[in-house]
Amino acid sequence: MTNARSGNSPFGRTLCAMITPFTETGALDLDGAQRLADRLVAGGCDGLVLSGTTGESPTTSDAEKAELIAAVREAVGERASIVAGVGTFDTRHTVALALAAEKAGADGALVVSPYYSRPPQDALEAHFREVADASGLPVMLYDIPGRTGVRIEPETVVRLAEHPRIVAVKDCSYDFLGVQKVLSRTELAYYAGCDEHNLALYAVGATGYVSTVANLVPDRLRAVVDAFDAGGTAEAARLQQRATELIESVMSSGLPGTVTVKGLLSALGLPAGPVRAPLRPADRETVDGLRAVYERLMAA
């Protein structure tokens, strides 16, 4: 998959951080996952990230993660890349998940910073290198210090870019200057991990996005980068602004995006199911508010 702007798009440019559908009893819903994946690809996603933060990776088993990859691969074939979330706070476990993801048919591995233990930068760098060395999968680093408690500092990212299998970054650092510094010094493919930054990062050279909100409106987010690529910068800005109310409602409501997305998908009759504890479902008032915002966007 090639990005006409940069020539560097190892996993596509319009990726969805897909939720993991469960049945009403809380079991993995592989049929629902396949139907949702097919809908997302038909709506304009050229990549799917499975078992990330939005995919409830902390509460799915290793076996479920592998089953999910295999099922989604069967559904989408080669129409979209599959990037598997394999990051944990344990290097050995992360390596094992990367190997399992490769065997199950993933195209890449999303590796988040080890959380809770907050390793220093040299240990963090060693962790990512060990994971990248362990399998043949290209690696997307996941920088989200608000959840992990540790930042992948720009200088560390620059050093990691020397590794032949570390090819991309999902950025949730909220450090716009730091991202531009890395972009100017490496060939890494950067993906906005926060929907409000999709266009802003794309405009300064990022490859695309890994979006939670794309679970709901994949076509509306795809239209933003398509407009920009066509030279319609004002139109791209207008489309990004039009999606802002939904982005804010999903991501800044005081609830995790997984909870809000699953609540709205369920209300729309789409595959989602419940969240797993310790998360709790969105209440009716929240879901009704989300649906009203969604319907305003779809009618615009």
Q: What per-residue confidence (pLDDT) applies to 8?
A: 81
pTM: 0.96
Tens digit of pLDDT for each residue in 12-51? 999 999 999 999 999 999 999 999 999 999 999 999 999 9
Give the containing element (helix H, strand E) for 115.
Answer: none
Phi, psi torsion values for 117, nearest 5 degrees: -75, -20
Tens digit of pLDDT for each residue in 218-269? 999 999 999 999 999 999 999 999 999 999 999 988 999 999 999 999 999 9
Q: How confident is the model at residue 7 (pLDDT cuts 50, 70, 90)?
A: low
Q: Report the alpha-carbon distance of residue 236 to residue 226 in Å, rounded.
A: 8
DSSP 58-101: GGS-HHHHHHHHHHHHHHHTTSSEEEEE---S-HHHHHHHHHHH
DSSP 151-177: ---HHHHHHHTTSTTEEEEEE-S--HH
Q: What per-residue confidence (pLDDT) applies to 6?
A: 47
Active-site residue flag, 65 = no
Give the containing element (helix H, strand E) for 266.
Answer: helix 257-267
**Is 70 exceeded by the pLDDT of residue 2?**
no
Find the mean pLDDT for residues 78-88: 98
Q: Report the alpha-carbon distance of residue 210 to residue 266 in Å, rounded.
A: 22
Of the options 3.40.50.2300, 3.40.50.1000, 3.20.20.70, 3.40.309.10, the CATH number for the domain spanning 14-231: 3.20.20.70
Catalytic member of 142, 191, 209, 294: 142
CA angle in degrees (0–180, nearest 5) for 115-87-208:
105
Tens digit of pLDDT for each residue in 192-211? 999 999 999 999 999 999 99
Contacts for 224 with CB less than 8 Å, ≥ 6 apart: 198, 199, 202, 236, 239, 240, 243
Catalytic member of 170, 190, 191, 202: 170
Q: What per-residue confidence (pLDDT) applies to 5?
A: 44
Active-site residue flag, 142 = yes
Tens digit of pLDDT for each residue in 119-139? 999 999 999 999 999 999 999
